Each structure stands twice: as C-alpha cells, then as structure tokens.
Amino acid sequence: MSTPRLYNTEGLVLRSYPLGETDRIITVFTKTAGKLRVAARGLRKPNSKLAGHLEPLTCTNLTVSRGRTLDVVTGAESRESFYFIKTDLPRLSSAIYLTELVDTINPLESPNPYGYSIYLKGLCALEEESSNVQLILHYMEMHLLIQAGYSPELHQCTECQGKIVEGNHYFDPSHGGVICKACINHQTNFRPVSIGALKVLRFFAKSTLKDSLLLKITQPLQFELRSLMDAYIRYTLDREMLSKAFVRSVSKLEGTVHVPTT
C-alpha cells in the first residue's frame, strides 16, 4: 500500500524562517510525528491565508503534502493562539525559552506525544492570567528533561548509590544529580543543595502540573531552584539557551523576580 500524499496533524509552531522571496520554513512540534520541518508557500505575501495560523507559539491543525525534499503545508487552522502570553512580556519570554528547550531536546521526526502534551499543558498554564510563571518554568523544565531521558537523580548518591540523607547532600550537574559529601570531587562544579530544594524537585518530578502549581515556595528557595536548574540544563545540553538572557532581562525589567546568572 502506498503512503498517502496528504496527512493531517495537530502541532505547535516552534519557529519559522524565510525561504526564497515569499515562502517560509516552519519548525512544528506535532502531536503524533514529533518535530517536523515543513515549507509554507507564499506565507510572506501580505494576503497569505495561512500566515495567521502558522505564527510561532500557535497550536494549529495542519494539512501537509509530502514533498521530495520538504513536505509542504497546504492547510492550517489555528486551535489556540495564546493571545495573553503574547501580550505579557514575562510570560512571552518564558514561553520563548520553553520553546527553545523543546526545540533543542527533540530531534526531527521522532514521535514524542508525552513531550507534546507537557509542552501544550505548560503553554496553556502560562495563558492563565493568575498562574505562577516561575513554578510553571520549574515544572516544565523538569518534565521536559525527564521525557528526554535527562532526569536528574534526586534520591541516591550518583557516585556510591547510597541513600541521600538530610544534612549530607550536594548537587553536581556533571554527575547528573545529587552526591554525598564523601563522594564530592573537588574538580567539578558541585554545589550545596538545600533539603527544601530537593523536596520541591522530587515533588515536581512525580506530580501533575496542576498539583505543582499549588505549591507555595519562598523567594530564596525560588532563587536556589533557578540557579540549580540553569546549571543542570547548561551542563546536560552542553549549551546555554539563547533565550535565557532574554528571560533574565525581562525579570530585571519587571523588578519582581531576581534571576541569578550562575
């Protein structure tokens, strides 16, 4: 049986860039087929009917035609445009950062329905006016890392496998999680981690987003979590997310949340 020429899929548009004079290449994270790179013809023309449905940070129903080199979008109808996120700078910068994270950890054409559902839930939570942006970010980072196979070890020492007990815990990104005092390697970037931060991270790892958003965490704990997750993501993915600087600038501009730089 031959493969159908057309297929339909739901997807979240991650980014797009120009192709020739009037077209664009769209990177879209789909519900069933993973991350795809597709062409959208005439998208840069002023009268394009597809343009509004294929903007980054849009959930859209796509009809795609298989092409020799690139598949081509022939139809698109947005399901959710996340208007509130796009009018609120802290939420927008956070959504852009999460989108970069999703783009970075997902290879092309590798189906990941759980990753898709986590990303969609995170954007829907950011779209809610009263939701806590920092908690959403912490939760999303944890679950995007877990689904990509980068789950940090939070219960036993990554060196001796001993159970981590209160008062004897450090975190070392190069070891992939917690480490006990006896196993610290002074050549690496280990750092102390409070029992409060450990408990919150363990809770995020096993809980739903809805339950995690009920947590009340102090600002010092929030700073610690931010610094720790930034260090872990930087080491694990071997790069700094480009949009992280944008998130920090917006946070400073807003003056509400201090984002550590290390």
Chain residues binding Zn ion by CB under 5 A are 157, 159-160, 162, 180, 183
Q: Closer to Zn ion by CB, 90 or 177: give it.
A: 177
Q: Closer to Zn ion by CB, 127 or 172: give it.
A: 172
Q: How far is the CB of 224 from Zn ion (least distance, A)?
A: 21
Q: Closer to Zn ion by CB, 180 or 229: give it.
A: 180
Q: How far is the CB of 175 from Zn ion (least distance, A)?
A: 9
Q: Closer to Zn ion by CB, 103 or 159: give it.
A: 159
3-state helix, strand, coil in the chain (%, to 5): 40, 20, 35
Q: How far is the CB of 145 from Zn ion (least distance, A)?
A: 22
Q: How far is the CB of 177 from Zn ion (least distance, A)?
A: 11
Q: How far is the CB of 176 from Zn ion (least distance, A)?
A: 13
Burial of 253 (0-12, 13-18, 19+ CB in 10 A): exposed
> How far is the C-alpha of 44 from the C-alpha of 41, rounded, in Å?
8
Q: How far is the CB of 178 from Zn ion (least distance, A)?
A: 9
> How far is the C-alpha of 237 from the C-alpha of 242, rounded, in Å?
12
Q: Closer to Zn ion by CB, 125 or 157: give it.
A: 157
Long-range contact pairs involving 172-180 (C-beta distance under 8 Å, separation at least 24): 173/231, 173/232, 173/234, 173/235, 173/236, 174/235, 176/152, 176/236, 177/152, 177/153, 178/152, 178/153, 178/154
Q: Closer to Zn ion by CB, 157 or 247: give it.
A: 157
175-203: string of b/e by CB count within 10 Å (b at 16+)?
bbbbbbeebeeeeeebeebeeebbebbee
Contact 86, 57 (CB under 8 A): yes
